[in-house]
Amino acid sequence: MAKVDAPEAPEGTPVGRRVILGMLGLGAAGILWGAKVQSTLERVLRPITLRDRTGLTSFLPTAGRFRIYSVTGALPSETEAEYRLTVDGLVDTPATLTLPELRALPQTNLVRDFQCVTGWRVPGVPWQGVALSVLLDKVGVQPTASYLRLYSFDGEYTESLSLDQARRPDVIVAHTMQGQTVTREHGGPVRLYVAPMYGYKSLKWLQRIEVTDELDPGYWEQYGYDIDGWVGKSNGRHDQPTS
């Protein structure tokens, strides 16, 4: 399995510095671009790094690009054919959907920025998927329910949303990103995309949506990040992307 080293530090270690350390082979990188890009970057940046550590981020040709994160240190894999999404819990009719079934439901298209709480941002990313509200209506949410617990098939990452948040039109179960089926690195074949919140809410490798009556904070929320991770309003705010 491809290896992705460390998750982002809960305290919000500046990403720029971790990128640099990783590229110098000093460890501590939670980032994977693909080996070719990375080795080119190492070659180009090493001399700059040695001369000027603090000013380095402005030279990084990674501005506006995604970093690939996985808290397990690995990239789990499910083919498009074997993929299944389960929606269960406090619902009238639990459902298990294939990728073609997801594609056959009413679709939502969004073009929105993707912003990690550590400061990096990718502007204007095109997404396509099914609004969570459509899935919730399909299974029939019971009156006692008020939250969702979302599970990844990486076996470790979870997220939470209130039902009100989940019913927003800009919260989708995404199967397409930048014009292609969501890639394995980006959490494919299906991930969550919570447009109004920081990236940590956008759970990758989505496997299960459980409707519940109690709030169960997600992975990073257990390390102190806001449960309501609104971009610009919550505790991880970074006005200036670091790289």
22 versus 199: smaller Cβ distance to ligand MTE: 199
In this structure, are residues 242 and 16 in contact, taking their beta carbons and an 8 Å threshold?
A: yes
Residue with the CB atom nearest Mo ion in the bound state: 116
Residue whose CB is less far from ligand MTE, 89 or 229: 229
Residue 33 or 200: the one with the smaller Cβ distance to Mo ion is: 200
The interface with ligand MTE within residues 115-154 (CB under 6 A) comprises 116, 152, 154
Our CB check for ligand MTE shows the closer of 97 and 203 to be: 203
Contact track, ligand MTE, 180-219, x by CB under 6 A: ------xx-----------xx-xxxx--------------
Among 16, 41, 45, 66, binds ligand MTE (CB under 6 A): 66
Q: Which is nearer to Mo ion, 114 or 147 (CB)?
A: 114
Sketch the per residue contact string, 23 through 62, with ligand MTE: x for CB under 6 A, - otherwise: ----------------------------------------
Please enumerate in sequence order all residues whose Cβ is within 8 A of that of 16, keeping only pairs 6 or more positions apart, or say none. Answer: 56, 57, 60, 119, 242, 243
Stretch 171-200 residues interacting with Mo ion (CB under 5 A): 199-200
Does position 68 bind ligand MTE by CB under 6 A?
Answer: yes
Identify whether the C-beta of residue 218 lies closer than 8 Å to the C-beta of residue 197.
Answer: no
| Residue 225 within binding range of Mo ion, rule CB under 5 A | no
The Cβ of residue 193 has, within 10 Å, a number of other Cβ atoms equal to: 27
Among ligand MTE, Mo ion, none, the one that 70 touches (CB under a kind-dependent 5 to 8 A) is ligand MTE
Residue closest to 204 by CA, chosen among 229, 225, 175, 179: 175
69 or 147: whose CB is closer to ligand MTE? 69
Q: Which of 18, 67, 175, 238 binds ligand MTE (CB under 6 A)?
A: 67
Q: List contacts with ligand MTE (CB under 6 A).
A: 7-8, 66-71, 116, 152, 154, 157, 186-187, 199-200, 202-205
